[in-house]
Amino acid sequence: MVLLFIVKKSSLAKKHFSNERSRLIATAKIIICRQAQLIHPPSDVIKKQLNLYFCEKKTQLWKSKGRIDKANLPYSAIEPVYLPRESYITSLYILHAHRKNNHCGVEQTLTELRSTVWIPKGRLTVKKTFNNGCYVCRKSKAKPFAPPGFPSNPKERKTKPNYPFERCLTDYMGPLNYRVDNLTVSKHWILLITCLNTRAIFAEIVTSMTAKTLLHVIRRFIAVHGFPK
């Protein structure tokens, strides 16, 4: 949009740039990539690793030349433009490709980027940009609230007991299915009474979860282990 405004307002710019919108967009991409490379020029190590060469005639950009020059791919994918991972322009370019593809994942965004540009440590850079820059993805993946911390043990668990099952809790386990005959399947539960201090367990099989059944089990428990507090 900035380049289009300059071309419309400046007669000198009309001599250098075309009025066609598609060509202006392509020219703007070249200018942006050139600016990123000027701020963060590639080091000798990067030049050797990515096999970079400087395209002096057409774009005056650093490009990566690999071993796929004979592949049936567009020229922009065979020799992608080098973009430094430290540049803020690179982050904006990644977010543009990410939003253009409806907030797709890291792999799909990286595939889309590599059809035109090459970013060193691309997967790591894309993932870092998503975490820091895409607020839509951060909002969709954010947890509703932080989980509460574990409370301290109650007083009953820390007090030394006089006898087992002095302080206890009850819970049910099940239901568990069992076959009465070839046609009938019934359910039963296991009532657990746990000592809070010794962690001993009293288990009793019950056929229902009614209050009457619970009282019967508690009576049998008291007859064996005594009356709890």
Rg for the chain, CA atoms, rounded: 35
Amino acid at position 123, single letter: R
Q: Where are the domains of the chain?
A: 16-141, 157-225
- Each residue's pLDDT tens digit, 79-111: 888 999 898 989 988 998 888 888 888 899 998
pLDDT computed for residue 21 by the predictor: 67
Work out the angle at residue 222's Cα, subtended by the Cα atoms of residues 220 and 224, and round it to the nearest 5 degrees. Answer: 75
Measured between alpha carbons, how far is 161 from 194 in angstroms, rounded to an integer?
A: 14
What was the pLDDT predicted at 177? 85
In this structure, the number of other CB atoms found within 10 A of the CB of residue 64 comes to 22
E strands in the chain: 52-55, 61-64, 81-82, 117-118, 168-179, 185-195, 201-206
Let me know: does 166 contact 228? Beta carbons within 8 Å: yes
Judged against a pLDDT cut of 70, whether residue 72 lies above it is answered with yes
